[in-house]
Amino acid sequence: MAAAAATPATAACAAGPSAAAVPPRALAAARRAAVRGAPPAAAVPAAAAAESARRVVVARATEAGQQEALWESQVRDGRVRSVDTRGAGHLMKEGWVLLDVRPPTEVEKVSIDGAVAVPLFVPETRSDLASLLKRASTWGTGGWWLGGTHMNPNPDFMEEVLERVPLDARVIVGCQRGLRSLAACEQLSRAGYGTLAWVNGGFDTAETGDLPTLPDGRDIRFAGIGGVSEMMGWTEVQQQYSKGFMGGSETVFKLVGIFLAVDLLLIGIDYINSVKQGTPFVF
């Protein structure tokens, strides 16, 4: 029978105490390890790498926790103020800078006069497979109804902010719904901006006249709508400005148009199938 490959433990046992001057207790431990089966030498680097990776993860989690605690303390201590849209308008009159971090698509619909617009996120424009899948996923999980698209973090966000907003400026950070502006506010705090405020709830909570909007004082809530819900006129802000059943006759005409478009699409599919099968098409 072929001899089994020697492990470090079995080699030590074979050498004997006189060859390596192994203490009796160490030799006994080696024998026990040999009986149990000591891990191969290749497992030692793998275990070390796993331990190193674990320490990196723990260190990063600890750092993130410390940063979050610091941010919460800044909000709690009043170094970062929470304001509504009306309060943001008043602060602008006092010389505060409003940093609008909404995507360009929303700013193009309704902008704020005097604000500095730097998007925290930008729409996905790449056409590789992974990007297309992300865009399709966003569309399928509500983008078709609300008009949203997959967004990527703006890699030049802080660079653009530092170029356009002085570090000693008093800054209000706002977005459409209040979530991205809070994340942006945290980045500004880390970059050294000492006097900050964020619009709690975002511009979707604005009332007419709270903020100086363009064009012509348009309700800024219109910037946050899109997709089929906007086309049908079924969003809350559209319903507020419309009258009558389903938002008035305009919405009814849109609904009829959609039904006709779907009907034509189905007729086209039937025609293509009939051509493929070589059967007469019946309209």
What digits encode the pLDDT tens for the residues 29-72?
A: 545 544 444 444 444 455 655 565 566 556 556 655 655 565 56
Mean of all residue pLDDT scores within the chain: 75
Average pLDDT over residues 6-28: 43
Beta strands in 164-267 (DSSP E): 170-174, 195-199, 213-214
Q: Are residues 153 and 199 in the same domain?
A: yes
Q: Are residues 94 and 154 in the same domain?
A: yes
Average pLDDT over residues 123-134: 76
CATH of the domain at 194: 3.40.250.10
Q: Are residues 111 and 207 in the same domain?
A: yes
175 noted as active-site residue = yes
In whole angstroms, what separates CA 147 from the centre of its chain? 16
- Ramachandran bin of 25, using left for φ above 0, alpha for ψ from -120 to 50, beta for the remaining angles: alpha
Q: Are residues 106 and 222 in the same domain?
A: yes
On the question of pLDDT at 177 being above 60, the answer is yes
Q: Are residues 142 and 220 in the same domain?
A: yes
Q: Are residues 247 and 171 in the same domain?
A: no
Identify the domain containing residue 269 by its residue range: 242-278
On the question of pLDDT at 269 being above 60, the answer is yes
Average pLDDT over residues 220-227: 86
Q: Are residues 157 and 271 in the same domain?
A: no
Q: Are residues 93 and 192 in the same domain?
A: yes
* Token pair of 35 as six digits: 């009986």
Q: Are 137 and 150 in contact (CB under 8 A)?
A: yes
- Is pLDDT larger for residue 132 or for residue 71? 132
- Ramachandran bin of 276, using left for φ above 0, alpha for ψ from -120 to 50, beta for the remaining angles: alpha
Q: Are residues 248 and 167 in the same domain?
A: no
**How far is Cα 234 from Cα 232, in angstroms, rounded to an integer?**
5
What is the domain count for the chain? 2
- Whether pTM > 0.85 for this model: the answer is no
Q: Which residues, including other chains, have CB under 8 Å from residue 23's CB and lie 6 or more apart?
A: none
Q: Are residues 152 and 265 in the same domain?
A: no
The answer to whether position 221 is within a domain reads: yes
The answer to whether position 232 is within a domain reads: no
Selecting among 175, 184, 196, 211, the annotated active-site residue is: 175
**C-alpha distances in Å from residue 75, one per residue of 82, 120, 148, 169, 224:** 8, 21, 30, 18, 27
